[in-house]
Structure formats: C-alpha cells, structure tokens
C-alpha cells in the first residue's frame, strides 16, 4: 500500500474532484487507518476493523469518483456494486457473496498486471527469440551470403526498435480464452466450467495466424508472461490484498432502505429489508469461499452511497446502520462548483474536449464569460428538472459543440466559444424550459 498522509490523500483527490471536503477527509482518514493498523502487533491488529462510511448526496456530485480515485491512488482492489442487484434468498437476483468474489477477481487482475510488468523484460526477450526464428528464413533468402548469427542479431535489434512493426508474418499463437459460464453451487460458491475443461484439454489451443509484427509481439509477450507467472503466488497475494486492502463500494443503498413515509412493513419493504439482512453478515465479517480460496470480510472497507431522496439513513435496519459508523453528506453543486469542474481538475471537461478536437486540427478556446454561462445553465437545468449533478455538463457541452464536432475534417482552424456562441447554441432551449416552471 502506498504511504500517504490524510492531507496528501485529500490533495490527490482535489486534482479530480471539486469540493466535498468532508467526504474526502473521511475516506482519507479511513485509508490512513489501514496503514496504521498494518504497523501494529498481530494481536491488536486483529481487533481493529475499518470504520465503514455512508456517503449521502444527489447523483453526480462525486460519490463514486471519490471511491474510484481512492482505490487507484493506493493500488487497492475495488469493486462497485449496486445494492438493487441483490435480492434476498428465494427471490431472483445475485447472491450477496458475489460482491466479495468480484473483489477477489479485481485483486487477481491487479496482482497479475504488476507481475506482468515485472516479467516484461524476460517475456519480451523470449518473444523476440520466437519472432527472430520466424523472420530469419525470409531474411536469409534476401541475403544468402550474410551469416545467420549476424542476421539474427540485426532482426532482434530491429524488433526492439519497432522497425518491423508493420511487417506481416504467419505465426502460431495461443487462441484467446473465451468466457465460459460460471456455475453456482448450493453453498453459494462458483465453479468456472472453463477451468475444468482447460484441465482436461491441456491448456490453450494453438493456431497459425497472419499478424503484423507489433500484434504478434504483444500476443507473444502475454503468452510468455503467462508461462513465467506463478499462479499460486498470484492467488495467495490477491486473497491477502482483497482481505486486508480491498474496498467494496455499494451504490444505491438508499434503494433498499424502507421509506420514511411508509407506515406498514408490507409490500416492497419486506424484500428491501431482506436484502439488508443478507448484506449484514458480509459487512459484519464472515468467510466467503471463492475459487481461489476462502477470504474473510472483517477487514474489507465498505463505502456505501445513495441519494436518500425518499428514504433516510435511519431507515436502514439498525444492525446495518451500526456497521457504517461514519455518515458524510455531499453537497449539491452550485454554479461556482460547475465553473471549477469545467476548468480546474486534471481531467476537466473542457480540457478533454479540447484534446479530442485537436486531433482534427481544431484549436478550441473558451472565454471566461462563456464558461460562467455554461455553469449557470447547468445549475438552472438541474433546478428545473432532475438534479444529475456534474453529469449535466456532459449533455450541455455535447449540445454546444455538436456542430464543431460534426464539421471538423482535419483542417486546422481556431474556434472561440464566447458568450454569444453559447447563447446562440444553448440559451433558447433552456429559457423555454425555465418558463415551463411557471405554467400551472
């Protein structure tokens, strides 16, 4: 786990997420507590569990992005699930334990990527040797007087320099593994039928294919990495990471809370409460069986999120509330927030669109007045209709730049988006919408 202080974590999150300081502080402290726990003696470490968090606030204000950036920052396995996908036993839906199995799969991918990076030099060397054997006969025909060792060395250097990337060759490579259905047992564990068939079939089948050298190189490096990798150590490390560093983000948790308006416990509230009771053992701490081994959920950090428009956090069953001791409220976005979102983050929307259109020779520039008008319209539309937070900016910018995007043909030119441009392309539609508010 990367070592970051809470202030450093918040500073990193500030690069991508505007505002929501309370939520950032809470997740930063929760993450730092993991590091603090890892430095303790085994006896006391077992007694300390994560302080799970509920983030409440309207959609599009940064709840999911905070969790996603947090996991990416410390290279921790993360899985995002929707609470509405789960139903209590006896109803149609996914088993709640599948969220833990998904977390282990995410950890496997994470560890594999790291191992691939470590093994890349050796795998590249092996891939180059295979390609040299394929290309050498072709070169030998063209230069029969040159010694094979000299030709092989020259080919090897050209391959590493990328000079042969566009050359087409015929080579035998492993067929990519096709996804095979997972079969669920009565105990909730999943069996991968593909793994069983592979054991009987003796590995991946080989097939001769015509490929460009760059594609063949990529496939061979992956193939050689698979040979070098120790799958048992990958599984063991992935289980450890998922157990000790994993983050499960449960979205739409408000959808399984009973309505604070409802007086009876009948109808859909029964099913919602059933889902909560099924999730409870996972959050409390239990052992889940996966195809890589068993994993305890005691030390996984759970972050739940929901808009809580109709229901409230107190409408969750008391046992589940008790397992989420930290509740933070994310604020609705204002016009000033939209201005900052458009311009400040590393992945700011205007920067992304400018980079996209730059490919077609468009030098896109936005004036300060135009940016403020876009932010004002986004705030107005969120007030007039559904409040979808920062996602409103995507639809506005798409509408604003639809003509420019359509007409771009590679010819270099400058496009300045100023206040008259915004008013001409967006304002009429939103003025009409604003007037509808006052029609009874």
CATH number at residue 385: 1.10.8.60
Looking at the domain assignment, is residue 437 inside a domain? no
Q: Which of 203, 220, 236 is the last residue of a domain?
A: 236
Query: What average pLDDT is seen over the chain?
Result: 83
Considering the domain architecture, whether residues 227 and 113 belong to the same structural domain is answered as yes
CATH number, domain with residue 262: 3.40.50.300
The total number of structural domains that make up the chain = 3
pLDDT at 263 over 50: no
Span 191-245, pLDDT tens digits: 555 555 555 555 566 778 888 888 889 989 988 898 889 889 999 999 999 999 8
Looking at the domain assignment, is residue 72 inside a domain? yes
Looking at the domain assignment, is residue 1 inside a domain? no
Looking at the domain assignment, is residue 439 inside a domain? no
The confidence score (pLDDT) of residue 92 equals: 53
pTM of the model: 0.79
Looking at the domain assignment, is residue 136 inside a domain? yes
Q: Which of 268, 297, 329 is the last residue of a domain?
A: 329
Phi and psi, residue 80, nearest 5°: -110, 125
Q: Which of 201, 236, 271 is the last residue of a domain?
A: 236
Span 310-361, pLDDT tens digits: 888 888 999 999 999 999 998 888 889 999 999 988 888 899 999 999 999 8
- Side-chain half-sphere CA neighbours of 205 within 13 A: 7
Considering the domain architecture, whether residues 119 and 215 belong to the same structural domain is answered as yes
The confidence score (pLDDT) of residue 430 equals: 58
Extended beta strands in 129-262, E state: 168-174, 182-184, 190-192, 206-212, 247-251
Structure-model confidence comparison of residues 425 and 297, the more confident one: 297
Beta-bridge mates of residue 365: 416
Looking at the domain assignment, is residue 438 inside a domain? no
Considering the domain architecture, whether residues 90 and 165 belong to the same structural domain is answered as no
pLDDT at 393 over 70: yes
Residue ranges making up the domain that contains 182: 106-236
Considering the domain architecture, whether residues 88 and 170 belong to the same structural domain is answered as no
The dihedral through the CA atoms of 386, 388, 391, 397 has a sign that is: positive
Considering the domain architecture, whether residues 261 and 183 belong to the same structural domain is answered as no
């Amino acid at each position: 786990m990367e070592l970051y202080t809470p202030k450093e974590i918040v500073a990193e999150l500030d690069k991508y997420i505007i505002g929501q300081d309370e939520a950032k502080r809470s997740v930063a402290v929760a993450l730092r507590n993991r590091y603090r726990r890892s430095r303790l003696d085994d006896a006391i470490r077992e007694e300390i569990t994560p302080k799970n968090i509920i983030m409440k606030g309207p959609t599009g204000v940064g709840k999911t992005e905070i969790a996603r950036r947090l996991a990416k920052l410390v290279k921790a396995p993360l899985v995002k699930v929707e609470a509405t996908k789960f139903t209590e036993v006896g109803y149609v839906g996914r088993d709640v334990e599948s969220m833990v199995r998904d977390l282990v799969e995410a950890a496997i991918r994470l560890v594999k990527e790291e191992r691939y990076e470590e093994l890349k030099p050796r795998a590249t060397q092996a891939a180059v040797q295979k390609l040299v054997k394929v290309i050498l006969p072709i070169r030998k025909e063209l230069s029969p007087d040159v010694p094979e060792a000299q030709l092989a060395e020259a080919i090897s250097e050209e391959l590493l320099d990328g000079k042969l990337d566009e050359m087409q060759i015929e080579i035998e490579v492993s067929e990519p593994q096709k996804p095979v259905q997972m079969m669920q047992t009565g105990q909730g564990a999943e069996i991968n039928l593909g793994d069983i068939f592979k054991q009987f079939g003796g590995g991946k089948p080989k097939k001769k294919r015509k490929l460009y050298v760059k594609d063949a190189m990529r496939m061979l490096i992956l193939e050689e990495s698979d040979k070098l990798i120790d799958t048992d150590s990958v599984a063991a490390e992935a289980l450890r990471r998922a157990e000790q560093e994993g983050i499960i983000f449960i979205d739409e948790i408000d959808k399984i809370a009973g309505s604070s308006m409802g007086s009876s416990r009948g109808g859909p509230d029964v099913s919602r409460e059933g889902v909560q009771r099924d999730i409870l053992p996972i959050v409390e701490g239990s052992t889940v069986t996966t195809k890589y081994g068993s994993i305890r959920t005691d030390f996984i950090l759970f972050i739940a999120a929901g808009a809580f428009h109709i229901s409230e956090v107190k409408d969750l069953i008391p046992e589940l509330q008790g397992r989420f001791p930290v509740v933070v409220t994310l604020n609705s976005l204002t016009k000033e927030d939209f201005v900052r979102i458009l311009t400040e983050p590393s992945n700011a929307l205007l920067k992304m669109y400018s980079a996209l259109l730059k490919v077609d020779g468009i030098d896109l520039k936005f004036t300060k007045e135009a940016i403020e008008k876009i932010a004002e319209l986004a705030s107005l539309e969120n007030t007039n209709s559904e409040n979808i937070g920062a996602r409103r900016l995507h639809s506005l910018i798409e509408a604003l730049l639809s003509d420019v995007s359509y007409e771009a043909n590679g010819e270099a030119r400058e496009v300045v988006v100023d206040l008259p441009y915004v008013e001409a392309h967006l304002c009429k539609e939103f003025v009409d919408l604003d007037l509808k508010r006052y029609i009874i």
